[in-house]
Structure 1
Amino acid sequence: MGITIQEASRRSGLSAHTLRYYERIGLIHEVERDPSGHRAYTESDLAWLDFLTRLRSTGMPIADMCRYAELRRRGPGTTAERRRILEAHRERVRTRIARLTEDLGILDYKIDFYATTEAR
């Protein structure tokens, strides 16, 4: 059938607590259960968890992720709205990257300044 929550946790890098939380708030559908009632994750579940992890690591708010997940569950008729959500998020990520690049330049400048000062 599927893999256990412990194995899904190991493979996804998310804690079992986070996996249960994601299920509870609707980020992931209700996970299949094995005959003894334990969660049984599929490869498809793991691929979705990977995508969710990338959304989180790029700063997408949980509320936006839940909205996206709900639209995904509704099916192909929601692709345009899902695309708009991802495009808006992409723009926020690009803005953040630009700011971080600027900040990195300042750090590099200061490090070079101190290295030059110390060399005297």
Structure 2
Amino acid sequence: MNIKTASQELGISADTIRYYERIGLVPPITRTSSGIRDFQETDLNALEFVKCFRAAGVSVESLIDYMTLFPKGEATREARLTILLEEREKMVERLEELQSALKRLDKKINYYKEGKY
């Protein structure tokens, strides 16, 4: 699959895919003999993983660390787990902040609906 098709399938721009590959956020994409990217299922899976966690606010640096360790297998299991646990903790904190803001927003909306503003 070429980059245009992969981009459409994943909902990620081709430029973003190229950038992710260039900075090591995803492993190098398989290429044809003429040098054109030829996306395999593993490439798409890696991009989906990165897309999901970037959307959730996981830092590029943490994802690069994780994605660099992942192909090394069992020897890096604990290091990868540590990264995931740290990112989970940060995500829970962000979620709590969002829940608090949502509660406040709902309260403000109710004031408007009740004519208090």
TM > 0.5: yes
Normalising by structure 2, what TM-score? 0.93
Note the alpha carbon deviations across 1:59-93, whole angstroms, 9 max, x for none: 11111111111111222210111111011111111
Q: How does 1:3-82 map to 2 (within 5 A)?
A: 3-82=1-80
List alignment gaps of at least 5 residues for structure 1: none
For residue 110 of structure 1, what is the amino acid of its counterpart?
Answer: K
The equivalent residue for 2:81 is 83
Deviation at 1:54, TM superposition (A): 1.1
For residue 38 of structure 1, what is the amino acid of its counterpart?
Answer: I
For residue 104 of structure 1, what is the amino acid of its counterpart?
Answer: L
For residue 53 of structure 2, what is the amino acid of its counterpart?
Answer: L
Secondary structure (helix, strand or coil) at the match of 1:117 reads coil
How far apart, in 2, do the equivalents of 1:102 and 1:41 lie?
A: 41
How far apart, in 2, do the equivalents of 1:84 and 1:105 lie?
A: 32
Deviation at 1:36, TM superposition (A): 2.4
Equivalent residues, number? 116
How far apart, in 2, do the equivalents of 1:76 and 1:93 lie?
A: 25
How far apart, in 1, do the equivalents of 2:100 and 2:78 lie?
A: 33
For residue 40 of structure 2, what is the amino acid of its counterpart?
Answer: T
CA RMSD of aligned residues (A): 1.2
Identity %: 37
Secondary structure (helix, strand or coil) at the match of 2:114 reads helix
For residue 5 of structure 1, what is the amino acid of its counterpart?
Answer: I
How far apart, in 2, do the equivalents of 1:11 and 1:29 lie?
A: 19
Greater Cα shift, 26-35 or 101-110: 26-35
